[in-house]
Amino acid sequence: MDPITPPIDGGHKSTHNKIKELNMRNQTNKLKIIAILFLSFIGFTSSVMALKTSTEMRTIKKGKFTLNFICKSADFSEEINQKLIDTFFEVYPTLVKTYNKKSPKVVTFVVDPEYDGVAATSDDKVIFSVKYMSSHPGDIDVVTHEVMHIVQAYGQHSGMPGWVTEGIADYVRYAYGIDNAGAGWRLPDLSEKHNFQNSYRITARFFAWLELNHKGIIQKLDQAGRDKTYEEGAIWKKLTGKTIDELWSDYSKKPALS
Ligand SMILES: [Zn+2]
C-alpha cells in the first residue's frame, strides 16, 4: 500500500479537512511528478553514458584541417584508430592542394561495426568497416582512396563515369599512398583481358601511364568532373589529341610505367 496516496473521495469530510486533503493531494502529485522526473533523469543519464562508451567522438585539428573521429566499437584497436587519423592528416592536405582547393576543411571518419563493406564516402564523411580494418590493419591507404572521393566532389549528374571516378581514386592511392607496399597493394600488370573501363586498379594503371605521357592530365580530368564537362567522345581528344580507344591501344603496345 502506498502511504502517501490520499483517499480518492473525501465528500463526507469537513471543509477544513477537504482543503487539507486537497493540499495533501497536490503534494502527493508533486512528489509523483518529482519521482517521474527523477526516474526519467536516471534513464536519460544512463543512455548518455551508454552512448559515450560506444560513440565517443574526438576532434583533431591540424592547421586548416579538422577531423571528427568516431569509433563506434569499444573493442576496436586504438593503434588502427591512430593510423587512420595520422593517414588523414598526412594525405588529405596534399590532395586538397593538388586537386581541389575548395574541398571541405572539416571531415568526419566513422569506424562502424555494423557497416559491411570495406569503406564508403558520402560528402565529407567516410565510414570504415571494423571487420575489414581489424583483419587488414596494414591496408591504411583505404583512407587515401576514400578521402580522394571527398576531394572529387563531382556530385550528381556530373557525367563522370564510375570507372573514371574510381580509376582516379586508385591512381591517387598509387601516387600518394603512404604504405601500399606494406599492404601488398599494387597496380596489376596489364593483361590482354583488361579494358580501360575495368575501373579501380586496372584503370588506375592506365591513368598512371597517361600521366607519364601527358603530365597534369589527371588533374584536368578530375576538374572536368566538378565542371560537369566530361564527354567521353570529346574530352580525351581535347586533352591528348587522341580518342580513348587510340590511347588504350598505345598503352597496350608500350605499357611500361617508367
Ligand atoms: Zn572508391
Ligand 1 centre distance from Cα of residue 239 (Å): 24
- How far apart CA 187 and CA 88 sit, in angstroms, is 22
Q: Residue 54 pLDDT more than 80?
A: no
Fold designation for 57-153 = Neutral Protease; domain 2 (1.10.390)
Average pLDDT of the chain is 86
Does residue 23 or residue 76 have the better pLDDT?
Answer: 76
Does residue 139 or residue 4 have the better pLDDT?
Answer: 139
Ligand 1 centre distance from Cα of residue 123 (Å): 13
Q: Residue 32 pLDDT more than 80?
A: no
Query: Cell numbers at residue 167, please?
Result: 580509376
In the block, cell 584541417 appears at: 65
Report pLDDT for 56: 82
Domain range list for the chain: 1-48, 57-153, 155-258
Residue 61 is inside which H or E element, if any?
strand 57-62
Report pLDDT for 40: 52
Residue 128 is inside which H or E element, if any?
strand 125-129
Ligand 1 centre distance from Cα of residue 135 (Å): 20
H-state helical runs in 61-122: 78-99
On whether the pTM is more than 0.85, the answer is no
Task: Identify the bridge partners of residue 42 per DSSP, sorted by sequence position.
Answer: none
Residue 11 pLDDT class (50, 70, 90 cuts):
very low
Residue whose C-alpha is closest to residue 119's, from 147, 155, 90: 147
Q: Residue 143 pLDDT more than 90?
A: yes
